[in-house]
């Protein structure tokens, strides 16, 4: 495949052979401006303080660490849930978006653009835009606009403009391409708010840094909760990989085993090959000609054919493992958690739990282990799907 030979010299933001910045010439200065602004902001206690204040007053951080008591007894492993489902707007996306929206304002940008699949990143961006007084334009595949009408209404109520994308498979991959095309045309005024640890440098690194609040909090909470201080396993679902990257960042220097769980039909890290899309080199599902394959998952947030470059690198290093869960396993795990703990997770998050349910008591996850599972979001958006799929209707 020709993309293997693409290797820009001297480009920062490489993770082994992954990452980089494969964008049109006209976007290079824009990416450089974001990288420069982020590194200054992240070193500035004033910026960090403003973000921490918003995360506390607006988002509800820190989120709790909840022992899943009945499920733990049933499975023979101690399961602790990191509750991103309890954040304002209902998923971890808001952690990253508030960071980027504050950065956009600091850079003097006057509007935000974003791509969205299920609509959670669009809703989070619309929320941040409303909060900070920045107009928001959200690109969304036409099929997703139909499938996720409720989130489209939420974005419009928050004052955002939703732009349906009619090219290609009319889903997240095409929405991302369209958002990047639009950025080229409005590069001096618009800030492109990317929703996961994907895209050209500095996005994968910057989004991980904005999401590491999940892992940093969980590390402290585990130290207070567990006799061994650190869990044996740290598990999170992986779409582009931002909730997992943020969670792993808190534990990568410990002895915890890191496990990323992909959707069977969106398994870039498990089954992908090296390639370039959306401005970065990583692992993508491809056909024999190197064409990117469409992802298919019941969880719209996991419907991405690739994975962030840092995950590809962690996989190659053997520091993290990537596995898959099927649609059916995720549905079953979501209903099981609802009934054993009174917590209804997003179907995305239920993939992480599904692996724990499958592996508990096997050599993969021995009895008596302690497991931290990040619940990336709440299941309210998935109620119709869950009822239909779990045959409870």
Ligand X SMILES: *Cc1c(COP(=O)(O)O)cnc(C)c1O
99 binds ligand X (CB under 6 A): no
Judged by CB under 6 A, the chain residues 243 through 272 that form the site for ligand X are 243-244
For the bound state, the minimum distance from the C-beta of residue 49 to ligand X, rounded and expressed in Å, comes to 26
The one among 95, 349, 370, 385 contacting ligand X by CB under 6 A: 349
74 catalytic per annotation: no
Residues 6+ apart with CB under 8 A from 87: 59, 60, 61, 63, 94, 95
Judged by CB under 6 A, the chain residues 358 through 387 that form the site for ligand X are 376-377
Alpha-helical runs (H) found in 8-78:
28-42, 45-54, 69-75
Catalytic residue among 72, 82, 84, 93: 93
Q: Which residues of 78-103 are buried (b: 16+ CB within 10 A; e: fewer)?
A: bbbbbbbbbbbbbbbbbbbbbbbbbb
Judged by CB under 6 A, the chain residues 208 through 227 that form the site for ligand X are none
The count of other CB atoms within 10 Å of the CB of residue 133 is 9
115 catalytic per annotation: yes
Cα 156 to Cα 179: distance, rounded to the nearest angstrom: 18
If the CB atoms of residues 120 and 249 are measured against ligand X, the closer one turns out to be 120
Cα 262 to Cα 64: distance, rounded to the nearest angstrom: 24
The one among 241, 279, 305, 306 contacting ligand X by CB under 6 A: 241
87 binds ligand X (CB under 6 A): no
For the bound state, the minimum distance from the C-beta of residue 114 to ligand X, rounded and expressed in Å, comes to 12
Instruction: Count the alpha carbons within 13 Å of 328 in the hemisphere toward its beta carbon.
Output: 2
What is the x/- site pattern for ligand X, positions 328-347, by CB under 6 A? ------------------x-
Indicate the helix (H) or strand (E) that contains 261. Answer: strand 257-263
Judged by CB under 6 A, the chain residues 274 through 333 that form the site for ligand X are 301-302
If the CB atoms of residues 112 and 350 are measured against ligand X, the closer one turns out to be 350
User: Vertex 277, ends 271 and 281: CA angle to 5°?
Assistant: 70
Cα 94 to Cα 87: distance, rounded to the nearest angstrom: 8
Residues that bind ligand X (CB under 6 A): 91, 93, 118, 120, 196, 237-244, 301-302, 346, 348-349, 376-377
Which residues have a catalytic role annotated?
93, 115, 376
């Amino acid at each position: 495949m020709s993309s293997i030979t693409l290797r820009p010299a001297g480009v920062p933001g490489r993770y082994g052979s992954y990452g980089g910045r494969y964008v049109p010439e006209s976007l290079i200065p824009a990416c450089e401006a974001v990288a420069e602004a982020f590194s200054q902001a992240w070193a500035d206690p004033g910026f960090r303080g403003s973000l921490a204040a918003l995360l506390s007053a607006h988002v509800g951080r820190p989120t709790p660490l909840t022992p899943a008591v009945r499920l733990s007894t049933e499975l023979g492993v101690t399961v602790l849930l990191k509750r991103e489902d309890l954040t304002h707007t209902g998923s971890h996306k808001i952690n990253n978006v508030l960071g980027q929206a504050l950065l956009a304002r600091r850079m003097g940008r006057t509007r935000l653009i974003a791509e969205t699949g299920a609509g959670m990143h669009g809703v989070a961006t619309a929320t941040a835009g409303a909060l900070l007084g920045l107009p928001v334009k959200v690109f969304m595949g036409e099929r997703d606009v139909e499938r996720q009408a409720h989130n489209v209404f939420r974005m419009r109520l928050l004052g955002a403009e939703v732009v349906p994308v009619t090219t290609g498979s009319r889903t997240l991959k095409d929405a991302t391409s369209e958002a990047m095309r639009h950025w080229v045309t409005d590069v001096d005024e618009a800030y492109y708010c990317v929703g996961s640890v994907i895209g050209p440098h500095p996005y994968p690194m910057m989004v991980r840094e904005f999401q590491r609040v999940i892992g940093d909090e969980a590390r402290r909470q585990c130290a207070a909760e567990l006799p061994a201080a650190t869990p044996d396993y740290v598990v999170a679902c992986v779409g582009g990989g931002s909730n997992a990257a943020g969670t792993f960042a808190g534990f990568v220097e410990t002895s915890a085993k890191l496990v990323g769980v992909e959707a069977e039909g969106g398994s870039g890290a498990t089954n992908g090959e090296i390639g370039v899309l959306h401005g970065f080199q990583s692992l993508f599902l491809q056909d024999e000609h190197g064409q990117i394959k469409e992802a298919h998952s019941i969880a719209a947030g996991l419907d991405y054919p690739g994975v962030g470059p840092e995950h590809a690198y962690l996989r190659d290093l053997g520091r993290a493992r990537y596995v898959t869960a099927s649609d059916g396993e995720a549905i079953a795990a979501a209903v099981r958690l609802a009934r054993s703990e009174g917590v209804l997770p997003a179907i995305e998050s239920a993939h992480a739990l599904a692996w724990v349910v499958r592996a508990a008591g096997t050599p993969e996850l021995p009895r008596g282990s302690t497991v931290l599972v990040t619940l990336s979001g709440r299941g309210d958006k998935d109620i119709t799907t869950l009822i239909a799929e779990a045959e409870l209707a």
